[in-house]
Structure 1
Amino acid sequence: MTPTVDQLDTDVLIVGGGLAGLRAAIAAAEGGVSVMVACKRKAGRSGNTLVAEGGIAVSSSDVDPGDSIEQHIEDTLTSGKGLCDPVLTRLLAENSEKEVFGLSRFGVVLGRDKSGDLLRGQPPGHTKRRSLRTETDHLPKNARGQSITLPLLKFAENLGVTFLDRTPVLRLVSRDGAIEGALTMDEEKERYLFIRTKAIIIAAGGAGQMFSHTNNTADITGDSYALALDAGATLRDLEFPQFYPNWGISPFRSSISSVMMGDGAIFRNKEQDRFMPRYYPEAKDMATRDQTSLAIFREVQAGRGVEGGVYFDASGVDREVLEVKYHHLTEAMRRLGLEFGKDPVIITPVVHHYMGGISVNGHLESGVRGLLAAGEACGGTHGANRLS
């Protein structure tokens, strides 16, 4: 029996319901076109944005008086080992201030300290304190990214964006080098849907679930890349997955923000030796994610690891900073009868992000007419290593 295929029509179809997909949906809807978002799980409540720490880098003299767009670009190019696409890197840096502070228009709240000042941080690889945070204390530790996605979801719904949850995209349909639509599966109604459209924005994230050790959510399985490649687009830099060094494995399993390294946290091996200065005498524990992950791997290989990782020592971080900026971690430890910064925490590197992805130009267009990409689905912005 041949299954039936129902048809829907829209001006723009967006694949993925995380931050990139939701922001693209809002932009398209405000441009006066009809928009649909197809999400493998639930828009705003799935994907890697869900488990993000809430930190966002913004080059603005209002955040750090000594910062500039050019410095942000230089830091990104340096971290990316000179392999970044300079057009995409500049696009990221030049738009960061407008986009980050513009999140307030959608109802996103940036985190502030007890004095009302923005919570700022300097993650490894950044030469300035340009990392801001969203307000996440009201959210569970494995869903802090909803501080961004839920306000954007509500805003998009109010604009009339149509959301197709539990509707994975199976294949993009193109003819003569131009997009004509997408075949999807509506899992709730158990039917195929052909969505006819002339423009598709792929924003379905990376491919972390290809690896056994990852902090990516279960739905990040490389859909962005497979769909684009099958439609005739070009992929680039897929040899560059990023390992995030600060994944807690004991006494809790959760990411620990790399911003804390700028606040005084350090790494120690099982002999309690602060080993990072041996590998990177200048950067020390502020080395970039790829450098830190490699150093940890070498310590474990040499027999100086702890349960496949190393100790994360936050004893040098001011207690008030721990309680305000990293409240979710101090609370997690307290629930276990422990104190963060005093009792041992063990971390290990896990796959976190893909620098590679769909090859796009400065307008985020692929080589297939009508096919664009956003977020982690894009390749080239970060070169061989992404900053926080």
Structure 2
Amino acid sequence: MIPRYIVNFDSRELPCQFTECLVIGSGIAGLYTAIRASNKLAVTVVTKKKRGDSNTELAQGGIAAAIHDADSPALHRMDTLEAGAGLCNEEAVEILVTEGPDRVRELIEMGANFDRHGKELAFTREAAHSRRRILHAGDSTGEEIQRTLNRKAEENTRITLLEDHSVIDLITVGGECLGALVWSEKEESLEIIYARAVVLATGGAGQIFKHTTNPEVATGDGVSIAYRAGAVVTDMEFIQFHPTALLLPGAPRFLISEAVRGEGAILRNIHGERFMPNYHPNAELASRDIVARAITSEMVRTGSNNVFLDLSPIDAEKVKKRFPNIAKTCGLYGIDIAREMIPVAPAAHYMMGGVKTNLNGETNIHGLYACGEVACEGVHGANRLASNSLLDGLVFGARIAEHIIRVLNKPMPNKVDVVFDRLKPGDVTIDYEWLRQQIREVMWDNVGIIRNESGLRQALDWFEKSEHILEQQIKDICYVPVVNMLVLGKLIANAALQRKESRGGHFREDYPCPDDEHWKRHIDLCKEDL
């Protein structure tokens, strides 16, 4: 059984502080929510490492918004629904594409510098978009957005940002969230932060897989924390694997932006043959799930560990100007991207599922909200449209802030008496670093790009045999993410086994076709189900 809390504690003995709004996470979703909420509320933002240690910081391609005269929210809506493979919440998508342009304009007013042609914004195209609607800042768009939001938050006297503060669990009483149990790395101690509203904006979970484009902090903490507190999670089987991550010995799995293919780059196998037209009419601009599976199939067919991304169809001067960060990083490993092909392979990238919310970011726990990658309001369906993720954080972060300010009728909580002492003394023989690597291996081998019943059952068996670790007091707080990964892995594998079809980011080779009659629906999970 998954315990309610993963450390023993007595709230009466812990120091505490109070804030009107507690935001957990400092990427685009967390900071933008905090900035908007601070118009009326005192906000505390906690982040487990440093501000900027997030997927936002690493986002290359850009942010999608129907701002160009040749574009429209209706077209953006159509593309998003098409990518979502029948599982998008159409109302959520409508909100995303209609409110998105104003949120992006606000970001520009805050000082975000996107690329321009003269005085006009420059737009690029990515896979599955019917128009050039991606605003970008070279190939470091996320870094520019993070810089902008960091500066705005730092200037704001109503926002307190606590770095090196890890949320261990949410404090709940009677189906209501009252705050969070937090570990301060500086003080090396637990404390409780009480709040009228708590917003989960903890980002993604790519580190649960052996190969990922995500930073080390992306361990799926928010989903596991919410699940233990009784929140419903949904669509956990839908994981997006980015088709093109750098694959070189000794090099990190550095993301090679989809915008490279949007500008004209093509994929070749180890024999130099272009192969994507054999897999889909849209070739390199097919949706990410199709391209990732095509690359995987091509590697199996040719007995190789990678394919190549060929940028030679793009003007060499444009390559260096448009993709300076990619050029610089590949150059460190001796690759001139304007002249030489880049070895690439798929890697885990984005989680479409997450904590289930309504259109205002509310979960089933009163006072608990979620936005960004940790949340699932249904906008991405079974497969996220490229560059919709940053927009998602802005749009639904703003809606959460508005709801807390105008609608949430909840007083500041008082201190509560919560005593949890059910965990056994920690087993010093548990090697948590080994456990972390095992989780990543099990997930990549059995719950990866191509799945089947045998592999999924093997994964679930492994997680169930490892679950006894959750019954023990963790020996070092730094290993909390490993415990969260154990919970998360079981959730993903369980949902993937249940869904006996292939759709979007979930592909079952034993059920290779979509089955709308039985599976055009969502899989919700809560603690009672497992």
Q: TM-score, normalised by structure 1?
A: 0.91
Within-5 A mapping of 1:183-194: 183-194=181-192
For residue 351 of structure 1, what is the aligned residue in structure 2? Answer: 348
For residue 67 of structure 1, what is the aligned residue in structure 2? Answer: 71
| Alignment match of 1:227 (pick from 225, 228, 245) | 225
| Alignment match of 2:86 (pick from 65, 82, 90) | 82
For residue 54 of structure 2, what is the aligned residue in structure 1? Answer: 47
Letter in 2 for 1:260: V
Letter in 2 for 1:77: L
Task: Report the number of matched residues.
Answer: 373
> What's the CA shift for 1:112?
2.4
Residues 139 and 322 of structure 2 are in contact (CA less than 8 Å); yes or no, is this contact kept in structure 1?
no
- Does residue 19 of structure 2 align to residue 10 of structure 1? yes
The answer to which structure has the higher helix fraction is: 2
| Alignment match of 2:156 (pick from 126, 148, 159) | 159
Looking at CA atoms only, which structure, 1 or 2, has the larger radius of gyration? Answer: 2
- Does residue 364 of structure 2 align to residue 367 of structure 1? yes
Within-5 A mapping of 1:257-276: 257-276=257-276
Within-5 A mapping of 1:73-112: 73-112=77-116
| Alignment match of 1:246 (pick from 209, 234, 244) | 244
CA distance in 1, matches of 2:61, 2:295: 25
> What's the CA shift for 1:344?
2.3
CA distance in 2, matches of 1:266, 1:54: 17
- Would the alpha carbon gap of residues 272 and 304 (structure 1) be closer, same or farther in structure 2, given more than 3 Å must change? farther
Letter in 2 for 1:26: I
Letter in 2 for 1:262: G
The answer to which structure has the higher strand fraction is: 1
> What's the CA shift for 1:297?
0.5
- Does residue 313 of structure 2 align to residue 316 of structure 1? yes
- Would the alpha carbon gap of residues 335 and 300 (structure 1) be closer, same or farther in structure 2, given more than 3 Å must change? closer
RMSD of Structure 2 on Structure 1 (CA): 1.9
Letter in 2 for 1:258: E
Specify every segment of 5 or more residues in structure 2 that has no aligned partner in the other structure, as ranges: 1-7, 387-530
| Alignment match of 2:127 (pick from 120, 124, 127) | 124
Letter in 2 for 1:375: G
CA distance in 2, matches of 1:274, 1:373: 42
For residue 427 of structure 2, what is the aligned residue in structure 1? Answer: none
CA distance in 2, matches of 1:334, 1:218: 23
For residue 35 of structure 1, what is the aligned residue in structure 2? Answer: 43
Render the CA deviation track for 1:48-96: whole Å, top value 9, x for unaligned.
1121115110112xx2x33111111110111110111222222211122
For residue 285 of structure 1, what is the aligned residue in structure 2? Answer: 284
- Would the alpha carbon gap of residues 354 and 72 (structure 1) be closer, same or farther in structure 2, given more than 3 Å must change? same
Render the CA deviation track for 1:223-267: whole Å, top value 9, x for unaligned.
110111122211000001100011011486421111121211110
Residues 264 and 317 of structure 1 are in contact (CA less than 8 Å); yes or no, is this contact kept in structure 2?
yes
> What's the CA shift for 1:334?
4.7
For residue 28 of structure 2, what is the aligned residue in structure 1? Answer: 19
Render the CA deviation track for 1:4-36: whole Å, top value 9, x for unaligned.
411100010001011110000001101x11100
Identity %: 34
CA distance in 1, matches of 2:334, 2:229: 53
CA distance in 1, matches of 2:110, 2:33: 13
For residue 299 of structure 2, what is the aligned residue in structure 1? Answer: 300
CA distance in 1, matches of 2:259, 2:139: 15
For residue 140 of structure 1, what is the aligned residue in structure 2? Answer: none
3-state DSSP class of the match of 1:11?
strand
Letter in 1 for 2:180: A
Specify every segment of 5 or more residues in structure 1 that has no aligned partner in the other structure, as ranges: 138-143
> What's the CA shift for 1:304?
5.1
Letter in 2 for 1:91: I
- Does residue 217 of structure 2 align to residue 210 of structure 1? no
For residue 168 of structure 1, what is the aligned residue in structure 2? Answer: 166
